[in-house]
Structure 1
Amino acid sequence: MQISSEHLTELKHAKHLLENPGLAAKMTDFVGTPIEMLIDRLPAKWNEKISQVTQSALNSATQAALYTMKNTPGEDASNKWHKLGVALSGGVGGFFGLAALTVELPVSTTLMLRSIADIARSEGESIDCPETQMACLQVFALGGSSKEDDGTDSGYFAVRSMLAKATAEAAEHLAKHGLAQKAAPVLVRFMAIIAERFGIQITQKAAAQAVPAIGAIGGATINTLFIDHFQDMARGHFIVRKLETKYSAEFIRQQYDQLV
């Protein structure tokens, strides 16, 4: 089997997106202070708060985003409109500070998930398919390759391998039962894994927004970096998935690993 030059170019682009420095590095460049130092300054018990807010945001976003989109595979993604909405919500969050996170995060997460699903659709995925819906949520677990992003098991295929069993079980459950049993253990377990990794990104975002005098403009910029990151992860992720259907998962993994 041999990959075409067109598909090899697509795969190179996907790897460039998926393995570039993660969100923490981008935010560090913007605020001028290492994210780890900013995280240390967050209020006590903040991690517990982040976990609760993240779980809630993902659950509400799934209901509001994935199950309300039209299934039109191949349609161009409207990234700019989603980015504008997230920037506006970030502006509000930056103005009111950390206290606004519980209100701002569900809104921005919903917009990001719609953007992720939009990108999936533009790469030929069927949004009605439970496997695609779970693949959209997987994007929130992708952090990039920088050490700041939980360096252990942060590579693209490492994350996918870690999520494989939970994703397959959740997709199978949705295919059989839909959302009628959304509290089923397999779905709860899948969402918990995604929320745990997404929470790392949320903590980084909160730390950056906690910089004194970050303000509305800074909050909008941070949220733009936030959605840029996940749009890149989504584009790379769904390019790889598209190529896996044309060739095979094993073959594409081999080609991906060989790329510099």
Structure 2
Amino acid sequence: MSDEERELTETGLIVLSDQVALSELREAKEVLTHRGMADRLTELLGMPVTATMRMLPDVAENAVHGAIDKALRTALDVAVKTLGDENADKGGAPRLLSHKWMAGLTGAAGGAFGLASVAAELPVSTLLILRSVADIARSQGEDLSELQTRVACLEVFALGAANEPRNVDDNTEIGYFAVRAGLAKHTADAAKYMAKSGSVDATAPPLVRLITEIGKRFGVVVSEKVAAQAIPVVGAVGGALINTYFIDHYQELARAHFTVRRLERAHGAATIRAAYESL
């Protein structure tokens, strides 16, 4: 942001006069600041998911962290190597239902076999979400042939827990723009490294840092999902429904995120952020 833009933003003089864009931005903000997966799953199951999380054994927590790391490393590899092939029909409507159906099928396995299936099921669910996120990005005018755009699709996994409080005494901003700002350098460094090296080495420091930062936030939502699927009465049908909620959660976030990015391209980042914060 330039000094002039910063001054205008701080004094509140930047306004978004396009009413259609303002309406889109308002809808996006409602999604980006809405209740998280835990609340939705609590309503679905009729019991607090957070309480179930505290009952999970340490071995389950280790399994979840290992699955998250594997899932994000696989997603990064797929994002870089194949998402650029999906740039056809740029701006066309995203294909969301097919991804939800497939996510439901993988969730059925998670519900039937519980924690034992996490390592196998989560990477599959994560890739389905990534494909759906990329499809939504394409529908919002993003160019998936650009490496940085493909890597940026991974940012959506960090938005799911953007509004989770760190602790009751910590008022540090962890909202949408703060998460994006925190990831911006990691995303840029990762894209720069891969463009220069021509490879996806998950052990390279820029990629490790990116995966670690995304994993911290993605892990919050995954833990909630796993805790819900671990409830004995859930079963395969409940597991399928939970996974459908899981992908729907990130589809909504992706639509909001890439709407904001599209509006930034049209009206300028400073204007959109000022309008967002004024809503």
Q: What per-residue deviation string (whole Å, max 9, x for no partner) do you get for residues 141-183 of structure 1?
A: 1125654798864421121122122122112223333325453
Assess, with a 3 A threshold, how the Cα gap between structure 1 residues 46 and 63 changes in structure 2: closer, same or farther. same
Aligned position for 2:11? none
Which moved further from structure 2: 25-34 or 149-158? Answer: 149-158
1:197 shift after superposition = 1.3
Aligned position for 1:114? 131
Which moved further from structure 2: 41-50 or 244-253? Answer: 41-50
Q: Determine if contact 2:66/2:119 at 8 Å carries over to the other structure.
A: no
RMSD: 2.0
1:71 aligns with 2:107: no
Q: What per-residue deviation string (whole Å, max 9, x for no partner) do you get for residues 207-249 of structure 1?
A: 0011112101100110011001000110011011111111221
Matched residues in 2 for 1:65 and 1:244: separation?
23
Matched residues in 1 for 2:100 and 2:74: separation?
19
Q: Percent of counterpart pairs with the same letter? A: 44
Assess, with a 3 A threshold, how the Cα gap between structure 1 residues 31 and 149 changes in structure 2: closer, same or farther. farther
Q: Which amino acid aligns with 1:54?
A: I
Assess, with a 3 A threshold, how the Cα gap between structure 1 residues 122 and 235 changes in structure 2: closer, same or farther. same
1:16 aligns with 2:16: no
Assess, with a 3 A threshold, how the Cα gap between structure 1 residues 210 and 71 changes in structure 2: closer, same or farther. same
Q: Which of 160, 165, 183 is the aligned partner of 1:143? A: 160
- SS of structure 2 residue aligned to 1:45: helix
Map 1:169-188; keep pairs closer than 5 Å: 169-188=189-208
**Residue ranges of structure 2 left out of the alignment (5+ in a row):** 1-13
Q: Determine if contact 2:79/2:151 at 8 Å carries over to the other structure.
A: no
Number of aligned residue pairs: 259
Aligned position for 1:103? 120
1:3 shift after superposition = 3.5
- SS of structure 2 residue aligned to 1:200: helix
**Residue ranges of structure 1 left out of the alignment (5+ in a row):** none
1:184 shift after superposition = 2.1
Assess, with a 3 A threshold, how the Cα gap between structure 1 residues 65 and 166 changes in structure 2: closer, same or farther. closer
Q: Which amino acid aligns with 1:24?
A: A
Aligned position for 1:60? 74
Matched residues in 2 for 1:114 and 1:150: separation?
33
Aligned position for 2:59? 45
Assess, with a 3 A threshold, how the Cα gap between structure 1 residues 149 and 101 changes in structure 2: closer, same or farther. farther
TM-score by length of 1: 0.92
TM-score by length of 2: 0.86
Assess, with a 3 A threshold, how the Cα gap between structure 1 residues 112 and 139 changes in structure 2: closer, same or farther. same
Q: What per-residue deviation string (whole Å, max 9, x for no partner) do you get for residues 15-70 of structure 1?
A: 11111111111111111121220101112233222111101011123333553232
Q: Determine if contact 1:143/1:149 at 8 Å carries over to the other structure.
A: no
Q: Which of 205, 215, 220 is the aligned partner of 1:195? A: 215
Runs of 4+ in 1 over 3 A off after TM superposition: 144-154, 180-183
Aligned position for 1:165? 185
Aligned position for 1:129? 146
Q: Which of 225, 230, 246 is the aligned partner of 1:210? A: 230
Matched residues in 1 for 2:80 and 2:167: separation?
27
Aligned position for 2:3? none
Matched residues in 1 for 2:227 and 2:173: separation?
23
Aligned position for 1:230? 250
1:83 aligns with 2:100: yes
- SS of structure 2 residue aligned to 1:33: coil
